[in-house]
Structure 1
Amino acid sequence: MNQFENDDIDSFFAEMQDVKPIASGDKALLHDPEKALAEKQKRAALQNKTREKLTNPLSLEGVKPVPPSDFICFQQPGIQDGVFKKLRMGKYPLEYTLSLKALNIEQSRDALYQSIISSHEKGVRALLIQHGTGENSKPFPALKKSYVNHWLRELEEVIAFHTAQPMHGGFGATYVLLKKHPQQKLINREKNRKR
C-alpha cells in the first residue's frame, strides 16, 4: 500500500469517527404486510368493479318494446339456415342457463354481459336466458324480454338467438348461440387433422 492510499483511508476514518450505527430498537417499521395485502385486494376489487362498469357496452337506451307473446330472433349474416333452425328447435345442448327473473334492469344488464363473456371464454356454444314474459312489468309489458332482445344484438359474441321452445320456457326464455372461441377453433382443427 502506498502513501496516497494510506492517507485516503486515514481521512475516511477521520470523517467517519463521530458516526454511530443505528441501534436495532430505533428502526421504524413502515410496512405492515397484512395491511398492505388488504389494501391491495381492496384496490383490485374496486378497480375490477369500475372496469366492469366501464367496459359493459350494453345500452339502456333505445329499447323497442316487444309484446310478451312475440317471438324474438336474430341471425348474423353468414349463419347457415340449418344452424339457425337447430337453435330455433332447441336441439343444441344448453351448456349454461341464466335466470334474470329476480333482477332489476341494471342487474340483468350486468349479469347478461358477464355470462355471455365468460361463457364465450369457456367455449360454451349454446345457452338459455330466462327473462320471463313480463306481462305486468312497468313501464311496459315484457320489459326484460325487450331489453334482452336489444342487448343480444349489441354483443359480437352472439351470432344468433331465438325464443325458446315451450319445454325450455317458451316466450319467457331465449336460446343464444355464441361464436366459437378462437381456442375452440384451434382444438377442432387439430381433431379434424387427426382423422
Structure 2
Amino acid sequence: MSDDDALFAAEMQGVQRLPQEERVALQKVSTSPWAIAARRQAATASRAPRNFLSTAEIPFLDPYYVLEYRREGVQHGVFRKLKQGRYDIEARLDLHKVTVEMARVQVFEFIREAMRLDLRTLIIVHGRGHHNQSGAAVLKSYINLWLPEMEEVQAFCSAQPQHGGAGAAYVLLRKSERKKQENRDRLSRGRTESR
C-alpha cells in the first residue's frame, strides 16, 4: 500500500455512511402562467384537425372555366338543384385579395366550422383572377383542387350570375350525424302517425 493510500485509510477510520432515503422526494415547482398557457395551447393544438390542403404548384384554370364536382352517391337532381342555385346559401366566404396560403387556412376552417354548425349549402367567392398579371384564376384553381380533398364536401360548382358566376362556387356539404338522426326521427314519426 502506498503512503497516500495509508494516509487516506487512517483519515477515514471511524467514518460511517450517511443514511439515505430510498425514494426521491419530488417537490412541485410553481409554474408561471405563461408556461401553463403554452402547455394548454399545445394540448389543444394537437386535438385540432391538421390542415392537409396543399399549396403545391398546379396548372391554373382559365378565369371563365366552369367548376363542377359531384362525389359518388350525390343524386343528379340534388346536383342539378345546386347548379341552379336553388338551395338557400347558409354561409359565405369571400377570398378577394387573399394570398393562396391565407385562402388555404380560411377554406379549411370555413368548411370545418360549417360542419360543426350543421350547415349544408355554402358559397365561396374566389374571384376570376382578372387582376392577376398572368391572367390565370389562381384561387379558383386551388379551390378546384382543395374541395374534393375534403371528405365533408359532397359537391361543388360555379355559381349563378347573380351570386358571382364563374368567380364563385356553391358548395354542398354532407349531412352531419345529428341532422341524419333528426331526419330519421322525423320520418319515423310520420310513419307512426299515419297508421
- TM-score for the superposition, normalised by structure 1: 0.76
Give the 3 Å change call, closer, same or farther, for CA 50–100 of structure 1 in structure 2.
farther
- Match of 1:124? 119
**Equivalent-residue separation in structure 2 for 1:109 and 1:143 (angstroms):** 12
- Match of 1:64? 59
Tell me the alpha carbon deviations over residues 123-149 of structure 1, each in whole angstroms, 9 at most, x when there is no partner: 110000011111232556100000001
Work out whether residues 63 and 135 of structure 2, in 8 Å CA contact, stay in contact via their aligned partners in 1.
no
- Match of 2:177? 182
**Equivalent-residue separation in structure 2 for 1:77 and 1:186 (angstroms):** 22
Tell me the alpha carbon deviations over residues 36-73 of structure 1, each in whole angstroms, 9 at most, x when there is no partner: 3x433333335556776x81111112523110011011
Tell me the alpha carbon deviations over residues 90-129 of structure 1, each in whole angstroms, 9 at most, x when there is no partner: 1111111011113210010010011111111211100000
Q: 2:41 aligns with which of 24, 40, 45?
A: 45
**Equivalent-residue separation in structure 2 for 1:112 and 1:55 (angstroms):** 13
Q: Is residue 95 from structure 1 mapped to residue 65 from structure 2 by the alignment?
A: no
Work out whether residues 105 and 144 of structure 1, in 8 Å CA contact, stay in contact via their aligned partners in 2.
yes
Letter paired with 1:43:
R
Return the structure number with greater helix share.
1
Stretches of structure 2 lacking an aligned partner (at least 5 in a row)? 1-27, 191-195
Work out whether residues 132 and 173 of structure 1, in 8 Å CA contact, stay in contact via their aligned partners in 2.
yes
Stretches of structure 1 lacking an aligned partner (at least 5 in a row)? 1-28
- Match of 1:155? 150
**Equivalent-residue separation in structure 1 for 2:63 and 2:55 (angstroms):** 19
Work out whether residues 56 and 110 of structure 1, in 8 Å CA contact, stay in contact via their aligned partners in 2.
yes
Give the 3 Å change call, closer, same or farther, for CA 103–50 of structure 1 in structure 2.
farther
Tell me the alpha carbon deviations over residues 168-194 of structure 1, each in whole angstroms, 9 at most, x when there is no partner: 111111000000011211111111111
3-state SS of paired residue (1:55)? coil
The runs of at least 4 aligned residues of structure 1 exceeding 6 Å deviation read none
- TM-score for the superposition, normalised by structure 2: 0.76
3-state SS of paired residue (1:146)? helix
Deviates more, 1:148-157 or 1:40-49: 40-49
Please report the RMSD computed on the Cα atoms of aligned residues, expressed in angstroms: 2.3
**Equivalent-residue separation in structure 2 for 1:108 and 1:131 (angstroms):** 9
- Match of 2:106? 111
Amino-acid identity (%): 34
Give the 3 Å change call, closer, same or farther, for CA 43–107 of structure 1 in structure 2.
farther
**Equivalent-residue separation in structure 2 for 1:114 and 1:100 (angstroms):** 13
- For residue 160 of structure 1, report the CA deviation from its aligned partner: 0.3
Give the 3 Å change call, closer, same or farther, for CA 61–138 of structure 1 in structure 2.
farther
